[in-house]
Amino acid sequence: MISSDKKRETRNLTMFCPVCEAEYEPGITHCADDGAELVESLTPESGASDDSEARFIPLHTLSSPAEAEMVNDILQQNGIRSVVQSGASDAFSPLFSVMAPGAQVLVDERDFDRANELYSSFFGQDTSPLTGPAFEDESEEEPE
């Protein structure tokens, strides 16, 4: 049996549909559109999603596409929307991109701060953790 305090508390919470993400007034327990049981907050676990279009911006340029793919895998495993863009743009680029020099890891601008924090926790300020800087001008700068 639910206590009267708990019932009062439940009636005062704004609820959300985990399917369509509609917001409902306190006291409603099921979505009118799809019949789903409402939740107190939308989280990835409760079905919340962001289907809006991603706008990718550069996170880092790495020395090799293989390195960029490694970083991309780490980011994606942590829920960050990311892609790798390499310099090759011909029909063979998917096959030979691992051999091509340089690649950029792009992240959705909404995930940039989290991606940068995650990258730094794994690699510090190293822009190419396995092979060194992608370009000579990215090498360590002399202190002023």
In this predicted model, what pLDDT tens digit does every residue of 44-99 receive, in sequence order?
666 556 667 888 999 988 888 888 899 999 999 998 889 999 865 544 455 544 45
In which band, very low, low, confident or very high, does the pLDDT at 124 lie, cut at 50, 70 and 90?
confident
- What is the assigned CATH class of domain 56-134? alpha beta
Lowest mean pLDDT among 56-65, 81-90, 105-114, 116-125: 81-90
Contacts 24+ apart (CB under 8 A), 136-143: 138/61
Q: Where are the alpha helices (DSSP H) in 1-144?
A: 4-11, 65-77, 93-96, 112-123
Distance between CA atoms of residues 11 and 26, nearest Å: 5
**Please, are residues 66 and 105 in contact by the beta-carbon 8 Å criterion?**
no
DSSP letter at 138 equals G
CATH 3.30.70.1530 residue spans of the chain: 56-134
Q: Which of 60-64, 99-103, 129-133 has the highest mean pLDDT?
A: 60-64
- At residue 117, does pLDDT exceed 70? yes
Q: Please report, as a single letter, which amino acid is at residue 97.
A: S
CA proximity to 59, closest of 131, 111, 132, 12: 111
- At residue 116, does pLDDT exceed 90? yes
DSSP letter at 87 equals S
Structure tokens at 65: 């596409």
0.85 surpassed by pTM: no
Q: Higher-confidence residue: 112 or 134?
A: 112
Whole-number pLDDT of residue 130: 61
CA proximity to 79, closest of 54, 47, 114, 52: 114
Whole-number pLDDT of residue 58: 94
Bridge partners of 23? 16
